[in-house]
């Protein structure tokens, strides 16, 4: 077993070393953040003989049968990347992510299976094509990294590297699917600094644009759109995405105000 510790200063490194000496610690410098930390964990797993990787954020939870479902689906679809249906843990449960049918890049628009924060329907089932997937429960065959390389830790250190990775995999011919049978649950009020739906002041929301490790970071958005947009509409798409974020702030900032 291995743990990636990106330069913690709260005693985590020392506690693991003392209480779990059998655990291999990969020590970061404090600026690895999500993407490089994930990459280092993946690389170590590969050196230890792993043939399949499961990326699962630490702010998600899942049911007892989740892992067996993901393993079985991966065995049945050995070349595919398979993501999970992400719903809110808070009640009433809503859909946080159910997959993206396609992306219209010049419009900075994702065509999703469900509208933002639709109520979750337990009858949702099956595997579905998703052009991009997030890191909240995604199985990746090791062979995929030979085709796409690893997550982009240089340009996308915290957010969007999961979407970028699966988009690149899709372009390389790797099947990218999402399972509506495998559920992960997110505490949406506690995740994603700067997200438009979080109840916050407009000033705090705007400040998030200038924090490199915020989900609404302008530098992240710039790098992400530059990688995937054609040069002649890149600046238009990038600007439109910023407008969409501001619009979302006013439309959705109270989306979860009634959720407990």
For residue 20, being part of any structural domain is answered with: no
Q: What are phi and psi of 252, to 5 degrees?
A: -120, 5
For residue 257, being part of any structural domain is answered with: no
Residue 16 three-state SS = helix
- pTM, 2 dp: 0.91
For residue 195, being part of any structural domain is answered with: yes
For residue 22, being part of any structural domain is answered with: no
For residue 105, being part of any structural domain is answered with: yes
For residue 10, being part of any structural domain is answered with: no
Per-residue pLDDT of the chain (260 residues; tens, 9 = 90+): 899 999 999 999 999 999 999 999 999 999 999 999 999 999 999 999 999 999 999 889 999 999 999 999 999 999 999 999 999 988 889 999 999 999 999 999 999 999 878 999 999 999 999 999 999 999 999 999 999 999 999 999 999 999 999 999 999 999 999 999 999 999 876 655 445 556 678 888 899 999 988 889 999 999 999 999 999 999 999 999 999 999 888 876 555 555 55
CATH number at residue 133: 3.90.550.10
For residue 66, being part of any structural domain is answered with: yes
- Give the range of the structural domain holding residue 58, as residue numbers without chain letter: 31-252
For residue 21, being part of any structural domain is answered with: no
User: Could you tell me if 213 and 153 are in contact, meaning their C-beta atoms sit under 8 angstroms apart?
Assistant: no
């Amino acid at each position: 077993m291995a743990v990636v510790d990106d330069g913690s200063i709260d005693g985590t490194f020392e506690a693991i070393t003392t209480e779990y000496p059998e655990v291999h610690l990969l020590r970061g410098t404090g600026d690895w953040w999500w993407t490089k930390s994930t990459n280092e964990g993946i690389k170590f797993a590969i050196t230890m003989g792993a043939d399949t990787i499961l990326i699962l954020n630490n702010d998600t939870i899942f049911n007892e049968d989740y892992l067996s479902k993901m393993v079985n689906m991966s065995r049945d679809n050995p070349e595919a990347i398979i993501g999970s249906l992400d719903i809110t843990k808070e009640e009433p449960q809503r859909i946080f992510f159910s997959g993206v049918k396609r992306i219209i890049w010049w419009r900075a628009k994702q065509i999703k299976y469900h509208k933002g924060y639709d109520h979750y329907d337990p009858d949702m089932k099956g595997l579905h094509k998703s052009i991009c997937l997030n890191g909240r429960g995604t199985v990746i065959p090791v062979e995929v990294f030979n085709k796409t390389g690893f997550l982009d830790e240089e340009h996308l250190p915290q957010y969007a590297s999961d979407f970028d990775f699966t988009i690149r995999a899709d372009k390389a011919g790797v099947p990218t699917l999402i399972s509506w049978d495998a559920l992960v649950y997110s505490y949406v009020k506690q995740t994603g600094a700067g997200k438009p739906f979080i109840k916050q002041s407009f000033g705090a929301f705007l400040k998030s644009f200038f924090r490199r490790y915020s989900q609404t970071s302008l530098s992240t958005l710039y790098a992400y759109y530059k990688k995937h947009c054609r040069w002649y509409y890149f600046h238009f798409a990038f600007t439109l995405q910023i407008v969409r974020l501001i619009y979302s702030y006013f439309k959705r900032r109270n989306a979860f105000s009634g959720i407990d």
